[in-house]
Chains A and B, each alone.
Chain A
Amino acid sequence: MRRHRRQLHDMTQQELADRVGVTRQTILSIEKGRYNPSVGLAIRIAQTFGVPVEALFEIDREEDHG
């Protein structure tokens, strides 16, 4: 997930975590690319920022084929 989107909204990881109902570590791991969120969580994050889901995430081609 693109970290700058959260920063654009001047939101901390903890604030975003509270808004979407997960722990801060989960938001951190999504931003680091260590965890791929469920569709439900991805939609909740996108709705928080008011953007489509695809605006938040990039597909790592190697990982996608791995």
Chain B
Amino acid sequence: MARQAGRIALPPLPGLVAAGLVILGVLLWMFVAEGFLALAGLGAFGPGILRELGWLRDHDEFQRQAAHRAGYHAYLIGGLATAFVVSALRSRGATLEDSSDWVMLILVALWTTWLFSALLAYWGPRKTASVILSVFGAFWAVFVLASIIGTESQDATVVNMLLASLMGSIVVVPFFVLARMAGRRPRGTGVALLAVAALFLLMFAPAWAARDFKLPSLLAVATLLIVPLVASGIALLREGPQSEEGGAPPDMAG
């Protein structure tokens, strides 16, 4: 019996290239020029198009089935979101400029739905939740580290930095603890994930409101931050009590 659950395997090359293009595209879009969003689009959707054309054969039949099923889910959510957005914009007589943020929201909803549906189908709820929590923990760690370096650079002492890191770890560590728990205690972790999602909502809602974010931007951030936690939490709560091993990470781009 293979006991390889703890082994970390790198995703295959197409997945790494696609993820690299998405990250690079988003960074360039945010900090250099808006046109670079097309690069992220190539990374997110390009590999899937190549697979459908038969030019990229890196997926087995289970991965293809998971991707196709997720495509249907993304079609349903994307279609619903588009219908609501178009209806809202038409009723307000909105201009094209108003529409771009809403189009971005539809893109985020479409892609998030596809990604999490594919991950849940391929990995199952436990490993998907574990990976999502680890990614959240890693992002928080980077965020905490960046804020410590940014605020303490004026009069930094080692003790101050250590204290700030300790305080920051209070936010980061629970994500990694929950990531470890997801495999063994799915129901408890599911409840914890829903609680964390509710906490996020409570923490961020006033801040978002005070900064006067546009509604579509607000909804896009909420989709990226809260939907993964809620979706994983519900999937874990619906999961049976049987044990499950993890597997090698799939290449889940487009």
Contact = CB atoms under 8 A, between A and B. Distances in A.
The dominant DSSP class at the B interface is loop
B121 to A, nearest CB: 8
Interface string B122-154: 111000000000000000000000000000000
A13 B247 CA distance: 10
Contacts of B1: 7, 12
Contact of A32 (B60, B244, B250): B244
Contact of A21 (B60, B63, B250): B60
Contacts, number: 50
A22 B124 contact: no
Interface of B: 1-2, 4, 60-63, 65, 122-124, 242, 244-245, 247-248, 250
A14 B60 contact: no
Given A13-B4, A23-B60, A23-B250, 15 more contacts: A7-B1, A12-B4, A13-B2, A15-B2, A22-B61, A23-B62, A24-B2, A24-B4, A25-B122, A25-B248, A26-B60, A28-B245, A29-B122, A32-B244, A34-B124
Contacts of A7: 1
Interface of A: 7, 12-15, 21-26, 28-29, 32, 34-35, 37-38, 41
A15 B4 CA distance: 12
